[in-house]
A and B are shown apart, each in its own frame.
Chain A
């Protein structure tokens, strides 16, 4: 893996909120075309990590480079250029409830002024078809859709601008096991087949095993283990074992009070 050029390279990333240290010198590499899943318990800073990479949060210290370009402290114009390489699937979908489904999907295309409305609508239809939704939902508003369908629309929006890197924030949370598997299949189809790099965060091990080629575990602000998905059961790390088998007893003590 190490000889492949890194798509995302994170070094010594630190972020605190007040006195609470969330990321404590985190290092992580993600190769081109790789699907990396970061696992970890609730409140361990997975979302913070993602938001730092996306530029939604400013890290206190450290370096994040994307395709060899440093993004921490980048100008807003440089930031915009980098963000165009990204697609993001938010945990709750984060669909714009004032807009119909197709405008949600086409939002990024219209925002950059790349396409006219009619062309953008056609492009949105194609992406909706790719996630298994017909043209009948295009005119509906997000509130009229079920949770699983909202997630698919959000997925279509994340891939609408043909990003080089897609971020998935808990893609299966809140879905029934079957719908979760449908979403997993879609993610695999989009990332593996289209050669897009993907960085996901989840605590759903079934999902992680399915969509990852590499898994990294985040604990106490650091990556404590990273390796190919096949090696996760023989990591030799008690904390990883405890997490993937979901045991209450072990070296990881859940903080009852935050």
Chain B
């Protein structure tokens, strides 16, 4: 193929995919607000995303907070600015690392399982079977997952924020010899509602991205086991990239002025 043709082909294919994803998202979100609602399916997803992701997200958060305290201490000690450790930990965790790392971990855990489950149902004709049994698969399979992603990730991030800051506290107090009261005072002085809220808005968007990519790639998968494998990979990779991309866009919206 000639180079111009190749470029054109790639660009057109990309735009077509973006269009398909947007239409899919619109249809899925539309079903979230129109009855009938499948509360049993929604409950299962809320528990799956919100509860069973807690260990993974918690462990990620505690080590991130610990590393953050250690790194910023060694870095800032060059400028004799060790006092800023509490400040740096709490702002970095709430604004940035809490939502992004929770989003990425949930993308690996939930996005993959959604794509695999829905993809398997697609290639074994279970999705078609739902339609013939008077059940709209978008309503039963996709809408509850979108709602669960949108609502559960902010809750996970609240937990991650707390555990992350606690991890920083542990290292600062027990390893670096900070005074506990001073460190906590520094943390609370630095903590702004704006930081936490912007982090939670990001978390909501990331949760939606993870669910959407998991469902989209599963729903459109074809061609047996290989197709489901590809769908799973695509779901995780595309959610990770979109999370990082939207992280920049949202940060720009919130904080650039």
Inter-chain contact B129/A111, CB cutoff 8 Å: no
Find the residue from B125, B133, B135 having the highest chain A CB count within 10 A.
Answer: B133
Number of B residues whose C-beta is below 8 Å from A? 12
- Smallest CB–CB gap between A69 and chain B, Å? 17
Inter-chain contact B125/A86, CB cutoff 8 Å: no
> Nearest residue in A to B129 (C-beta to C-beta)?
A94
Inter-chain contact B124/A94, CB cutoff 8 Å: yes
Inter-chain contact A55/B128, CB cutoff 8 Å: no
Inter-chain contact A90/B134, CB cutoff 8 Å: no
Inter-chain contact B134/A54, CB cutoff 8 Å: no
Contact of A88 among B36, B121, B129 (CB under 8 A): B129
> Nearest residue in A to B44 (C-beta to C-beta)?
A98
Q: CA–CA, A157 to B133, complex, Å?
A: 9
Q: Per-residue CB proximity of A45-65 to B under 8 Å, as 1/0? A: 000000100111000000000
Contact of B133 among A51, A92, A97, A108 (CB under 8 A): A108
Inter-chain contact A90/B131, CB cutoff 8 Å: no
Q: Per-residue CB proximity of A77-117 to B under 8 Å, as 1/0? A: 00010011011101110111100000000011001110000
Contacts of B124 in A (CB 8 A): 92, 94
Inter-chain contact B125/A112, CB cutoff 8 Å: no
The total number of A-B Cβ pairs within 8 Å is 48
Inter-chain contact B129/A90, CB cutoff 8 Å: yes
Contacts of A161 in B (CB 8 A): 133-134
> Nearest residue in B to A114 (C-beta to C-beta)?
B134
Q: CA–CA, A243 to B204, complex, Å?
A: 58
Contacts of A97 in B (CB 8 A): 126
Q: Per-residue CB proximity of B113-145 to A under 8 Å, as 1/0? A: 000000001001110110111110000000000
Inter-chain contact B134/A83, CB cutoff 8 Å: yes
Inter-chain contact B134/A108, CB cutoff 8 Å: yes
Contact of A54 among B36, B121, B126, B132 (CB under 8 A): B132
For chain B residues 124-181, which have a beta carbon within 8 Å of chain A? Answer: 124-126, 128-129, 131-135
Contacts of B134 in A (CB 8 A): 80, 83-84, 108, 111-112, 161
> Nearest residue in B to A88 (C-beta to C-beta)?
B132
Contacts of A84 in B (CB 8 A): 134
When A92-B125, A94-B125, A94-B126 are in contact, do A56 and B131 touch as well, CB less than 8 Å?
yes
> Nearest residue in A to B121 (C-beta to C-beta)?
A96
> Nearest residue in B to A113 (C-beta to C-beta)?
B36
Contacts of B133 in A (CB 8 A): 107-108, 111, 157, 161
Q: List 25 A-B contacts (CB under 8 A).
A: A54-B128, A54-B132, A56-B128, A56-B132, A80-B134, A83-B131, A83-B134, A84-B134, A88-B129, A88-B132, A90-B128, A90-B129, A92-B124, A92-B125, A94-B124, A94-B125, A94-B128, A95-B126, A95-B129, A96-B121, A96-B126, A96-B129, A97-B126, A157-B133, A161-B133
Contacts A54-B131, A92-B124, A107-B135 aside, 6 further interface pairs with beta carbons under 8 A come to A56-B128, A86-B132, A87-B132, A90-B125, A97-B126, A111-B134
**Closest 3 pairs between A and B when the two form their complex, measured CB to CB:** A108-B133, A94-B125, A94-B129
